[in-house]
Structure 1
Amino acid sequence: MKKFLATAALSALVALPVGAQDAPTADTVLATVNGTDITLGHLIAMQQMLPPQYQELPDNVLFDGLLEQLVQQQILADVADDEMTARMELGLANERRAFLAAMLLDQIGMADLPEEEVQAEYDAQYGSAGSVTEFNASHILVETEEEAQALIAELGEGADFAELAQERSIGPSGPNGGQLGWFTAGMMVPTFEEAVFALSVGEVSAPVETQFGWHVILLNDTRDQAPPALEEVRAELEDGLRRARVDAAITELSEAAAVERPELDIDPSVIRNLDLITN
């Protein structure tokens, strides 16, 4: 029956000569279920709410699939509406509230961002920032200071740092020769960073203790990293500005709203009492 309804609706559309068909509008009826019309507008609104992975489906697949889903939902909703319970009415109220709130926040957050606003945010975050020094280091992590001192002695005799790291390090970077890659200040624990910052390129540190154990550190290289260009961080800046818009709107609207919270002595566990909304 469900497939018949969808097929009949589509057949009615294509049966007319091309010249006799009016251009479709949001009010174009695609199916009628128990007297309730399902329109092209319903289909478009549903398509807009789909997750990104479904948006990539071919249009004909989306059209047929969404129409069939709406038909099925209407059939089920008609039955459920005749058996409406307090729990269902409360759920509908919550769904309506959440939908309207989400639509408003989306409207606020996704409104056009003036270019000058993006530029001002970039200037505020990066305009006065100078270049940042990045460090590239490797380390060997062992359990005791004596082990660390023994490693330093072997390195002094010409042992290869990466090979020792692979053989002796108990840290996750050991199999990779102890390489930590590039990092800046604030990314490592303070004691480790202090030791790295005191090294010259190619120099090996004295044993360094952290909460993870004892480290022997090799500074591989340093470089100065200039602030990113606007286009490199545009998406990040725009996301931040949109979040700030939404937060400001929530604060402003909340302050203007008349919210009353009566003082009640209620056991929070009552939130799990389904008997209160079952009838």
Structure 2
Amino acid sequence: MLKFSKFVLLSALLAIAASAQAADEKAAADKPAALVNGVAIPQARVDMRIKAAAQQGQPDSPEMRKAIRDDIINLEVISQAAAKSGLDKQAEVAQQLELARQSVLAGAYVQDYAKSHPIPDDVLKQEYEALKARVGNKEYKLAHILVQTEDEAKKVEAELKKKGAKFAKIAKEHSKDPGSKDNGGDLGWAVPSNFVQPFGEAVVKLNKGEVSAPVQTQYGWHIIKLEDTRELKVPTFEEMKPNLEKRKQQEAVQKLIEDLRSKAKIE
């Protein structure tokens, strides 16, 4: 029910480029990390993998460096054997190699664009203020019961109105939400903007301890209980800046891709 970002491709391109950029050293002048059947493995290739591993949080150590070098040697040995057997001439393999080449090249282009088009602080601050306005100044502790039809929702609503009815017990018995059913419908603390609009709008109308009438969303019919509220502690601009910058950068790259597509002759 939460909304998720749809920038998976852009994030992947940026990640690919971050690793690829590290290889832009004077590879020709490097002493080879190894020779495999007379083929030199540039030290820059090993260094690129070491840097990528460090960026992923792996501690630098002689053992890690040796493991990376051995892995690259293994790749070279296997690649040579594959080429000797003619696999690089197979159509499917050739297409995969071309896709890999395009991915690295596109990632480098995206990374270069992002570096040459930094997001100004005033734009990030506007985004921050807009975000604060969306989330508000209050958090809500919620529980809900999700069913598929309005008739089911009305039956649950009637059951909740019976004397001594326990919301958590009824949620365990009737809710179709696998993420909260076993916890008595508990959704934890959240802000209304985290949810689809009809759900979020219903939340802000509730008083503490109150249960909503059935609310329809694309997921089915919800009966929502507001268990508590508290003041929302919004992170400062400086704390949010890296995430804001990443999101705006992804938006800028998305626009770049759309512009490139609009200028391309696609048949």
Give TM-score scaled by structure 2 length. 0.60
Q: 1:239 to 1:52 in 2, by over 3 A?
A: same
1:242 maps to what in 2? 249
Of the two structures, which has the highest relative contact order with CA contacts closer than 8 Å and spacing of 6 or more?
2
2:108 maps to what in 1? 103
Q: Considering only CA atoms, is the larger Rg found in Structure 1 or Structure 2?
A: 1
SS at match of 2:161: helix
4+ residue runs over 6 A deviation: none
1:43 maps to what in 2? 46
Give TM-score scaled by structure 1 length. 0.58
Distance 1:89 1:138 in 2: 53
1:60-209 to structure 2, matched below 5 A, reads 60-82=62-84, 83=86, 85=89, 87=91, 89-109=94-114, 113=118, 117-126=120-129, 130=133, 131-138=136-143, 143=152, 145=154, 148-149=157-158, 151-154=160-163, 159=164, 164-169=166-171, 170-171=174-175, 173=180, 176=183, 178-185=185-192, 187=195, 190=198, 193-194=201-202, 196-203=203-210, 208=214
Number of aligned residue pairs: 223
Q: Is the 8 A contact 1:165 1:174 kept in 2?
A: no
The percent of aligned pairs where both chains have the same amino acid is 22
Q: Which amino acid aligns with 1:152?
A: K
* 1:106-132 per-position Cα deviation (integer Å, ceiling 9, x unaligned): 333356846xx1342222441695544
Q: Which amino acid aligns with 1:47?
A: I
Q: Is the 8 A contact 2:170 2:184 kept in 1?
A: no
- Name stretches of at least 5 consecutive residues in structure 1 with no aligned partner: 1-24, 264-279
SS at match of 1:29: coil
